[in-house]
């Protein structure tokens, strides 16, 4: 049995590599020195670095021991040869006779046929493969476990060098290293608009400045201490009274506790420290290996666990560094924030004068942060998978909130195309500004009132900027969602008074608290439900907790002293529920009179039509209400039994299909028949094509996002309403095979010169 060569160990090698990294030399010279150092330290006859290119191939960038002429000439396809196999699997490959392996690929220009033993490790960063590091020897032998560990640790240095973009200068266009390649990430458009700027990570990755441990024993103690502190932190969160009651938050924390106590995870961390690196570097290396494995899983459950492991690793890193991960106090100009997920309160912490966009890995169009982003006019893209790992702080980035596209490190062609798109949007905005004070009246003289959806103080300036007719939906729950504790009656009163002051003579419709279901307040009891969207929420919660509803109604009525106010109740499913809610308003009016408070001039009380059952109670309901508002988001969800937050089914049915259009037409006609205003305030009203159809169905009042007022008003003013109404009625009453209603109406708009 051949004797194993002496192995220098990683600590000395890492020190020497650090010296090379600090030298003022070219990228190629630096790589050439690195492979010489690694080969000498590991007593290897060959050391080679292969870099993954943007075209998916692997190129030999440096070698010690193979023919130097092969550098930048030897290129392998993805998955080709042993090097391609390591890149594809993101796992180390340790062979005593490489040429016997079925994946071996002979490259005559390298001269590697005389070498038998082979050890290849992936060069990983954030779980993403950037290249492959290889050592070889003539002798038939398997490399020892500590040698594999040492090479994996060494690859971390190369990962940072590749990720820095230093090697890009060595490659012709189209063959640059994959690490700094332009990326197109498909996502879901959550808030319209185009954002051009530079990446700011919401939870910045902690940069490991020091890889080499001065005292390995001390690093092991630091790691053990941090693991114990992490476990204690998770236990404290699980003991919190709100979490202890159960629910999704507890399930997540239980998963965290399982990982924090997992023996394999802890063992790998300690083994990494044992190679001579710091505790922080060990966490980074182990988590990069974990991510590489998880990202190659097809099981969505296992891929979801990757996020849990990311969170655990980040928490452990913060225990080691003391970094609290707070939102940066000072944003750079043209900042685009990239986050895995974010609550609405965190978004409001950012300086909105410098914030140009938001990218989220997890968030749907109905998430709270998306609602707030739309209210603030911040272009937002959600469902951008792996964005936080692929983006580096300061990277150039372009996002399109309409199409859901994210362009990371865009090419000049993409930048120019989007710059032109921004200029075009600016010209369109100038056109919308020119009609700001003109009414939304069709060519044949029918007016459609355009109101705003709002929910925060930051929305109020849009009343003047858009020329809207009023606020058709003020979501009062947003004040509760962004607060750390239940807002007191005085705080609610102050907000409602400011809203009414800002509106002046224009009407404001306040929706009472629409919480529960997916809108969980952090300071309220979490109720675990099978179907939360159809559970204890909105008016159901308000009627069961009348103290909360009464205090809110009282604040609204007091804020409206001497003026008109409209109060609307969400998710009414039966006439009796509306009667009970209206009785609370009457009771609070009596209370104000009894205590000599100044009374509102007029109080209008309405219901929100979101539950399909109300469609069959309209003749009983309409005489009782002063107005109706249609919440199309939930109405569509319930009519089609489709969870709008579930990406697998959310787009299964077209909202502009006959069943929905018939229901909406019925609502508009019944309102007209009873002489009651019916306003549509769901997402449909904010899209020009859908707004055109709503007007054709008979809606004369729409409530929409501030950014949509200009485009929708422009469409309304271009319409011959009689012609489009006749077409829509025909399409609803006599469905035809062929193009969808949506497509037929697009064709109609184009033929009529209506710009959508």
Q: What is the pLDDT of residue 696?
A: 96
User: What's the CATH architecture for 186-204+329-425?
Assistant: 3-Layer(bba) Sandwich (3.50)
Instruction: Say if pTM beats, i.e. exceeds, 0.75.
Output: no
Distance CA 336, CA 354 (A): 9
Strand 58-64 and strand 194-201: the pairing is unpaired
Q: How far apart are the first and last CA of the chain?
A: 78
Of 133, 182, 204, 165, which is closest to residue 389 (Cα–Cα)?
204
The stretches of 560-657 forming alpha helices (DSSP H) are 575-594, 618-621, 632-640
Architecture of domain 216-321: Orthogonal Bundle (1.10)
Residues forming a β-bridge with 606? 568, 627
Q: Assign domain 435-752 to its CATH superfamily.
A: Phosphoenolpyruvate-binding domains (3.20.20.60)
Integer Cα distance of 17 and 42 in angstroms: 14
Q: Is the pLDDT of residue 366 over 80?
A: no
6 pLDDT more than 60 = no
What's the pLDDT tens digit per position in 548-558? 899 999 999 99
**Structural contact between residues 171 and 52, judged by C-beta atoms closer than 8 angstroms:** no
Tell me the two tokens of residue 668: 């508009």
Question: Rounded to an integer, what distance in angstroms lies between the CA atom of residue 611 and that of residue 522?
Answer: 27
User: Is the separation of the CB atoms in 715 and 755 below 8 Å?
Assistant: yes
State the Cα angle at 663 between 659 and 664, rounded to 5°: 120
**Residue 751 has which token pair?**
């033929």
* Helix-strand-coil split of the chain, %, nearest 5: 50, 15, 35
Enter the CATH code of domain 10-179. Answer: 3.30.450.40
Contact 620, 652 (CB under 8 A): no
Comparing 386 with 75, the larger pLDDT belongs to 75
Q: pLDDT tens across 42-100, in order?
A: 889 999 999 999 888 999 999 999 999 999 999 998 789 999 999 999 999 999 999 99
Lowest mean pLDDT among 13-22, 238-247, 368-377: 238-247
* Dist. CA 168–CA 61, nearest whole Å: 11
Contact 639, 659 (CB under 8 A): yes
Report H helices in 322-411. 344-348, 368-376, 387-390
- Residue 526 — pLDDT band, cuts 50, 70, 90? low
Q: Give the integer Cα–Cα distance in Å for 230 and 469.
A: 53
Range with lowest mean pLDDT among 296-300, 696-700, 735-739: 296-300
Q: What phi and psi values does residue 153 have, to the nearest 5 degrees?
A: -65, -45
Q: CA–CA separation, 258 vs 254, rounded Å?
A: 6
Per-residue pLDDT tens digits for 645-678: 666 776 777 888 899 999 999 999 999 999 999 9
Q: Of the ranges 317-326, 450-459, 608-617, 673-682, which one carries the lowest mean pLDDT score?
A: 317-326
CA-CA-CA-CA torsion sign (192, 197, 202, 208): positive
Looking from the CA of 249 toward its CB, the CA atoms found within 13 Å total: 20
CATH 3.30.450.40 placement within the chain: 10-179
- Residues 434-488: pLDDT tens digits? 898 999 999 999 999 999 998 878 778 889 888 999 999 999 987 887 676 788 8
- Ranges of beta strands (E only) in 255-395 are 335-339, 355-360, 380-382
The answer for residues whose C-beta is within 8 angstroms of residue 19's C-beta and 6 or more apart is none
Helix axes 27-41, 10-22, angle to 10 degrees: 170
Average pLDDT over residues 279-306: 78
Q: Which of 126, 170, 164, 137 is nearest to 32 (CA)?
A: 170
- The whole-number pLDDT of residue 557 equals 97
Q: Which two tokens stand for residue 692?
A: 């055109």
DSSP state letters, 18-73: HHHHHS---HHHHHHHHHHHHHHHTT-SEEEEEEEBTTS-EEEEEEESS-GGGTTT
Q: What is the band of 4 on the pLDDT scale with cuts at 50, 70, 90?
A: very low
- Whether the CB-CB separation of 442 and 720 falls below 8 Å is answered with yes
* Residue 213 contacts residue 11 (beta carbons within 8 Å): yes
User: Which residue in 116, 202, 368, 451 is the catalytic one?
Assistant: 368
Tell me the C-alpha distance between 22 and 249, whole Å: 46
Asked about 47 being catalytic, the answer comes back as no
Q: Which pairing describes strands 117-125 and 128-137: parallel, antiparallel, or unpaired?
A: antiparallel
Least confident of 211-225, 410-424, 521-535: 521-535
Distance from C-alpha of 77 to C-alpha of 80, rounded to nearest angstrom:
5
Residue 213 has pLDDT above 90, yes or no: no
CA distances to 40, 45, 130, 548 from 553, in Å: 78, 81, 59, 9
* Residue 629 · residue 569 · CB < 8 Å: no
- Mean predicted lDDT score pLDDT of the chain: 87
- Active-site choice (116, 407, 451, 681): 681
Nearest to 31 by CA among 125, 139, 123, 148: 123
For 451, the enclosing helix (H) or strand (E) is: strand 449-454
What stretch of H or E contains 224?
A: helix 216-239
Is the pLDDT at 519 greater than 90? The verdict is no
Burial of 121 (0-12, 13-18, 19+ CB in 10 A): buried
Eight-state DSSP code of residue 592: H
- Mention every residue, 6+ apart, whose C-beta is less than 8 A from residue 423: none
Q: Range with the lowest mean pLDDT among 174-183, 311-320, 572-581?
A: 174-183
Whether 211 and 278 have beta carbons less than 8 Å apart is answered as yes
- Residue pair 692/724 in contact (Cβ under 8 Å)? The answer is yes
Q: Which of 389, 412, 411 is nearest to 54 (CA)?
A: 411
Alpha-helical segments (H) within 359-472? 368-376, 387-390, 412-434, 462-466
Is residue 681 part of the annotated active site? The answer reads yes
Cα 565 to Cα 601: distance, rounded to the nearest angstrom: 8
Q: Are 112 and 76 in contact (CB under 8 A)?
A: no
Structure tokens, 604: 């209008």
CATH 1.10.274.10 residue ranges of the chain are 216-321
Is pLDDT at 244 greater than 60 in this prediction?
no
Q: Which residues in the chain are classed under CATH 3.50.30.10?
A: 186-204+329-425
Total residue length of the chain? 756
Say which residue the tokens 């075009």 belong to: 424
| Cβ–Cβ under 8 Å, residues 147 and 370 | no
């Amino acid at each position: 049995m051949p004797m194993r060569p002496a192995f220098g160990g990683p600590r000395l090698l890492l020190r020497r590599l650090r010296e090379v990294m600090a030298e003022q030399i070219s990228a190629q010279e630096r790589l050439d020195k690195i492979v010489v150092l690694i080969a000498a330290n590991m007593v290897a006859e060959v050391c080679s670095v292969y870099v993954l290119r943007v075209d998916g191939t692997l190129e030999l960038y440096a070698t010690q021991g193979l023919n130097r002429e092969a550098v930048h000439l030897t290129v392998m396809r993805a998955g080709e040869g042993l090097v391609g196999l390591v890149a594809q699997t993101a796992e180390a490959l340790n062979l005593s006779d490489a040429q016997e392996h079925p994946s071996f690929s002979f490259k005559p220009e390298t001269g590697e046929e005389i070498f038998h033993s082979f050890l290849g490790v992936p060069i990983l960063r954030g779980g993403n493969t950037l290249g492959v590091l290889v050592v070889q020897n003539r002798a038939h032998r398997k490399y020892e476990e500590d040698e594999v560990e040492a090479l994996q640790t060494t690859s971390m240095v190369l990962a940072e060098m590749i990720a820095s973009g230093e090697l890009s200068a060595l490659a012709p266009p189209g063959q640059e290293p994959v690490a700094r390649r332009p990326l197109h990430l498909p996502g879901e458009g959550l808030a319209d608009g185009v954002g051009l700027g530079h990446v700011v990570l919401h939870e910045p990755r902690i940069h490991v400045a020091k890889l080499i441990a001065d005292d390995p024993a001390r690093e092991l103690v630091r790691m053990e201490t941090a693991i114990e502190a992490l476990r204690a932190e998770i236990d404290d969160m699980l003991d919190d009274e709100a979490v202890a009651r159960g629910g999704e938050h507890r399930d997540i924390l239980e998963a965290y506790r399982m990982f924090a106590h997992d023996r394999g995870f802890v063992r790998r961390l300690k083994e990494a420290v044992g190679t001579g690196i710091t505790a922080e570097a060990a966490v980074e290396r182990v988590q990069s290996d974990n991510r590489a494995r998880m990202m190659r899983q097809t099981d969505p459950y296992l891929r979801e666990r990757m996020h849990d492991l990311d969170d655990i690793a980040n928490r452990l890193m913060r225990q080691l560094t003391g970094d609290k991960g707070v939102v940066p106090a000072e944003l750079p100009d043209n900042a685009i924030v990239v986050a895995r997920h974010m609550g609405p309160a965190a978004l409001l912490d950012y300086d909105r004068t410098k914030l140009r966009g938001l990218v989220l890995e997890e968030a749907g169009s109905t998430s709270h942060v998306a609602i707030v982003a739309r209210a603030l006019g911040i272009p937002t893209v959600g469902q951008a998978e792996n964005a936080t790992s692929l983006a580096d702080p300061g990277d150039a980035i372009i996002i399109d909130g309409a199409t859901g596209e994210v362009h990371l490190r865009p090419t000049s062609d993409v930048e120019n195309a989007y710059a032109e798109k921004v200029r075009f949007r600016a010209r369109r905005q100038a056109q919308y500004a020119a009609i700001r004070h003109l009414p939304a009246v069709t060519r044949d003289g029918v007016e459609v009132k355009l109101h705003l959806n709002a929910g925060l103080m930051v929305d109020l300036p849009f009343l003047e900027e858009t020329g809207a007719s009023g606020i058709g939906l003020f979501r009062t729950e947003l004040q509760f969602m962004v607060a750390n504790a239940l807002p007191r009656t005085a705080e609610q009163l102050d907000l409602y008074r400011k809203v009414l002051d800002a509106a002046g003579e224009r009407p404001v419709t306040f929706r009472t608290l629409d919480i529960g279901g997916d809108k969980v307040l952090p300071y309220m009891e979490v109720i675990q439900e099978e179907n939360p969207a159809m559970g204890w929420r909105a008016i159901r919660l308000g009627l069961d907790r009348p103290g909360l509803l009464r205090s809110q109604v009282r604040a609204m009525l007091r804020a409206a002293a001497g003026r008109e106010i409209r109060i609307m109740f969400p998710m009414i499913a039966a006439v009796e529920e509306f009667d009970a809610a209206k009785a609370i308003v009457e009771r609070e009016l009596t209370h104000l009179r009894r205590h000599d408070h100044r009374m509102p001039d007029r109080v209008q009380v309405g219901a929100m039509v979101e539950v399909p059952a109300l469609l069959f109670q309209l003749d009983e309901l309409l005489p009782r209400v002063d107005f109706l508002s249609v919440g199309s988001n939930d109405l569509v969800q319930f009519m089609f039994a489709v969870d709008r937050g579930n990406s697998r089914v959310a787009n299964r049915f077209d909202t502009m299909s006959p069943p929905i259009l018939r229901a909406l037409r019925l609502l508009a006609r019944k309102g007209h028949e009873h002489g009651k205003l019916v306003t549509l305030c769901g997402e449909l009203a904010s899209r020009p094509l859908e707004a055109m159809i709503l007007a054709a169905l008979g809606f004369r009042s729409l409530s929409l996002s501030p950014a949509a007022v200009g485009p929708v008003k422009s469409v309304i003013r271009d319409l011959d309403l009689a012609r489009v109404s006749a077409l829509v009625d025909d399409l609803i009453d006599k469905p035809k095979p062929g193009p969808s209603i949506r497509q037929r109406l697009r064709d109609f708009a184009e033929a009529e010169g209506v710009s959508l």
